[in-house]
Structure formats: structure tokens, C-alpha cells
Amino acid sequence: MSGIDIKNLTKRYGALTVLKDINLTVRAGEFVAIVGPSGCGKSTLLKIIAGLEKGSGDVLVGGRPVQGPDSRHILVLQEHALYPWRTVEENISLGPEIQGWPEAKRKERVNQLIEAVGLSGFNHYYPHQISGGMCQRVSLARAFIMEPEVLLLDEPFGALDALTRMDLQQQLLRLWQMRSATVVLVTHDVEEALLLADTVMVMEGHPGRFAGRFAISLPRPERRRASEIVNLKSEILDLLCRPNAAMLTAQAC
């Protein structure tokens, strides 16, 4: 597992400052969620961590400066981006194929993950033959088969209906607990962030910067109806709706 350390990160596109003075520490194995309004730079921040964008400042993963894309740092997008000519198991096995895994090992791991994400019996289906939620399960399995040290999730469930979203949230937690990756999730859904993460970071925009940090210590199975989560959700929404939010730190519940 690798932790993430970001110090004094600023990102500009010409005269436009997208991110300003971003400082963030994510412990190895921690699950952090980032919430904020559209256009505040959340996705740009993920791309910088993934090595797809560059900014000024220091970005380290596992103590190493991020120089570019790294197979140990996997980015999962809202669109599943599966290859339509490959079956479920062929899409999941793509990374191991590229890395030259032995066939027996590759098939064993693919079958384990297909079962873990609830797709047993769909091994030989193509993306157009399964639902959007099932495609996103394939996308998660394709990411976790690479045993990433860092998993970056950019609104992976944003386009799904509520029931499918809840199911995939649980699938994600199960895979994370099995594989122990460091996870950074970007989401517009405050409740999703509070149900999944150890720490929720709140961003404000124009330019993007952190406006709040909320640590959650409640066990995940008990969170959905816990009064502490309801209160934290209210605090975060108030912060998101407040213009020019000042920096603050909330006490852990």
C-alpha cells in the first residue's frame, strides 16, 4: 500500500487557476472521499495524482514523486470504458494479459473477482448484453485485479440508479477490504462519501481548494441510519452552500 502526500499544489490552465494551494495527506490503506461543486477541480486533482496532468507543487505516492502514469495507480471513471469486442472475463483480464501473467494465474484471479462482484455466470457476455451497473462491476474488477496500491475513483456510480448504486457501494467496500488499497473517491453525493470513507474532504471552487475535513470513525455497517452521519451530512451541505467557505476542521464523530 502507498500513502499520498500533496503539498502546495496549484494547477493553472493559462490565466485560469483551477486548483490553489492544495495540501492533502492520505494514509496508506485509507479511504478518502472528496466532495465539492461541479468545476471545483476534483477530477483534475485525481488526474494529477494518477500522473495524467501536472501542476506546480509536490505530489508523492508511496514517498515517490509522481512522474507520469503508473500501473500501480489505477483511475476508474464514471464511464466504464469497457472494450465492446471483449467479454466480461476478457475485459477483466486485459491488464494481466498486457503484463504477461501466466494463463492459469490470470484465469484464477479473473474467476475470483467475477464471483466477488456478483457476476458469476456472465463470464462470456459482452458489454452490450449486460446492464450499466454490471458494466461498472466489470470496471471495478478490472481495476482490482491489478492489485493497485492506489485506486482513484471519479464518480464511478454517478450514472446509476439508487438501488444499483447502493449495491455497488457495498461491492466496492468488499473489494477494498479484500485488497487493502489506498482509495480516493470523487463524488457529488455527500451521503455516499459519508457511508464509504474514513475521511471526507470538502472542496470549494474558483479556484479549487479544501474548505473542510471530516473524519468518520463509525463502523460502516451502522452508518446509514446513524444520527452522527445525518448531522455530518447537514454540516457538509451547509459548508458547500456557503460562499467563500473558510478553512475548518470538524471533529471526528
pLDDT in tens, 174-226: 888 887 799 999 998 999 999 999 999 999 988 999 999 999 988 887 787 78
What's CA 41's distance to the chain center, in Å? 15
* Prediction pTM value: 0.88
DSSP characters for 115-169?
Answer: HHTT-TT-TT--GGGS-HHHHHHHHHHHHHTT--SEEEEESTTTTS-HHHHHHHH
User: Quick check: is 161 in a domain?
Assistant: yes
Kindly report which listed range (104-113, 114-123, 169-178) carries the lowest average pLDDT score: 169-178
In a domain, 31, yes or no: yes
What average pLDDT does range 6-31 have in this prediction?
94
Report yes or no on 85 lying in a domain: no
**Domains: count for the chain:** 1
- Residue owning grid cell 459519508: 194
The answer to the question of residue 33 being in a domain is: yes
109 lies in some domain: no
**Is there a domain that residue 237 lies in?**
yes
The answer to the question of residue 111 being in a domain is no
Residue 45's domain spans which residues? 4-80+148-249
Question: Would you state the cell numbers that stand for residue 237, as one nine-digit string?
Answer: 451541505
Pairing of strands 73-76, 150-154: parallel
Which CATH number is 215's domain given? 3.40.50.300
> Is residue 40 one of the residues assigned to a domain?
yes
The Cα–Cα gap between 11 and 130 comes to 39
Its sign, for the CA torsion 222, 236, 151, 158, is positive
Q: What is the mean pLDDT of residues 6-18?
A: 94
Confidence check: pLDDT of 249 > 70: no
